[in-house]
Amino acid sequence: MTPLSTNRKSALGIASIALTVPVLFWLKFGRIDQFAIAFTGFLVLLTTAIEFLPRAADARNVAPAPGKSKLDFLGPVWLLSIPFAPFFSWALTSAFDVNLENWRWLLGVRAFMCVVLPIVSALSLLRFVRRGVAGIALLILVVGTGFPVLTAAGSAYDVVKGPSWEAVKVEQLEDIDFRTGAGTHVHKEGVYALLEDGRRLGHSEAVKFHLGPAKLLILHGFQWVLDAAP
């Protein structure tokens, strides 16, 4: 098999992972959320590294690997943060009602796990970007770090900026209604508020909506309503 056909086969396999995994999440849970995207990215990244890095190293004049460092433990931390930081941060904000009392620490933990930890860990791995495989190594670092960061960039923004009051028009309250693969029927009413400008916002359990003009205290990055004016 020629290198070209091998590369084409590998690329098709990676593309099939990128398309199939989100579809499986949708069939199983009725939605494609941030964790599904991050987990897909993790699988794509891992497959890309396994497929292309050894071949690139064999085909090029690769510089010697650097010696051991006290920061080497951050390599596994970086790799594991790609799928699991979004999952645990999603689980955290799903387990608690994000409200006026706890929003800062919940989103702060989410931002640390998905933004600070992957970036710091990735910086420690830059010394492994060697001549001969620098391009693909950098691509893997950027893509791998980007997935968890993108899932919580809005949370990090809110931790810095905080919520703000905004005059809006609520056009519709949207329920969630789906059946899991285990046969469990999940139904909740008024989970999301659909605004006139097209935004779809979740909300604290303490917030009581009414259709029409409203004044809401919104976390713009997390797309969440903390409070509503009477």
Q: Is 216 left (phi over 0), alpha (psi -120 to 50) or beta?
A: beta
pLDDT value for 80: 84
pLDDT value for 54: 55
Q: Over the stretch 56-82, which tens digit does the pLDDT of each residue have?
A: 544 445 555 555 667 677 778 888 888
8 Å CB contact between 27 and 102: no
Q: Over the stretch 33-52, which tens digit does the pLDDT of each residue have?
A: 666 776 777 777 777 766 65
| pTM for the whole structure | 0.72
- Cα–Cα distance list, 126 to 65, 148, 162, 214 (Å): 12, 18, 33, 49
Give the ranges where the chain is alpha helix by DSSP (H). 3-29, 34-59, 74-95, 103-111, 117-124, 134-161
Give the pLDDT band of residue 1 (cuts 50, 70, 90). very low
Look over the chain and give the mean of its residue pLDDT values, rounded to a whole number.
79
Give the pLDDT band of residue 195 (cuts 50, 70, 90). very high
More confident residue, 203 or 131: 203
Which amino acid is present at 63?
A
- Cα–Cα distance list, 87 to 37, 38, 69, 74, 96 (Å): 10, 8, 29, 19, 15
Residue 184 confidence (pLDDT) above 70: no
Residue 168 confidence (pLDDT) above 80: yes
8 Å CB contact between 149 and 115: yes
8 Å CB contact between 166 and 229: no
Token readout for 205 is 């359990």
Q: Could you give the count of Cα atoms lying within 13 Å of 171 in the half-sphere of its Cβ?
A: 7
**Residue recorded with tokens 């596994």:** 76
More confident residue, 46 or 185: 46
Residue 137 confidence (pLDDT) above 90: no
pLDDT value for 26: 77
